[in-house]
Amino acid sequence: MTEAYTALQSLAQVFAHRTRLRILDILARDEACVCHLTNILGEAQAHVSQHLRVLRDNGLVVDRRHGVMVYYRLSDARATAVISLLKDLRRAAGAEDVYPAVPPLPVAGCPCPHCAAASTSTARECC
């Protein structure tokens, strides 16, 4: 029985870092590549990759390769439910937290194909 709680503790520790929570919050909306996450988070690529590895190793995200790009997405929507529950618990305790919005495409400075395509279509729409 104690092994089950040890496993729960290990999983809870994955959710115990603000960068990983933010990554999960971003991936709840759509898949993203490392450069996309790096630009949104304002963190070094190595730092973001390290957190993605922890999330992947714990089964919360999966990756897919497309050429040189690696895209990440949630492996299970229940990860989003955990984040929502944590936010609800904070609100129930009286907190008035404000969470940053995920910027729409294109993300400034992001060289990924998704942002490049969105940038091109935005330029076509306005000109």
Ordered domains of the chain (ranges, CATH): 2-126 (1.10.10.10)
Give the Å distances, CA to CA, from 76 to 21, 35, 88: 15, 22, 20
* Triad 53, 58, 62: Cα angle to 5°: 60
pTM of the entire structure? 0.84
The conformation of residue 103, written as its DSSP 8-state character, comes to P
With CA atoms as reference, report the closest residue to 84 among 12, 9, 21. Answer: 21
The alpha-carbon radius of gyration of the chain (Å, integer) is 16
Residue-by-residue pLDDT tens, the chain, 127 positions:
689 999 889 999 999 999 999 999 999 988 999 999 999 999 999 999 999 999 999 999 999 998 888 999 999 988 889 988 988 998 999 988 888 888 887 887 788 887 888 877 654 443 3
For residues 43 and 19, the answer to whether their CB atoms sit within 8 Å is yes
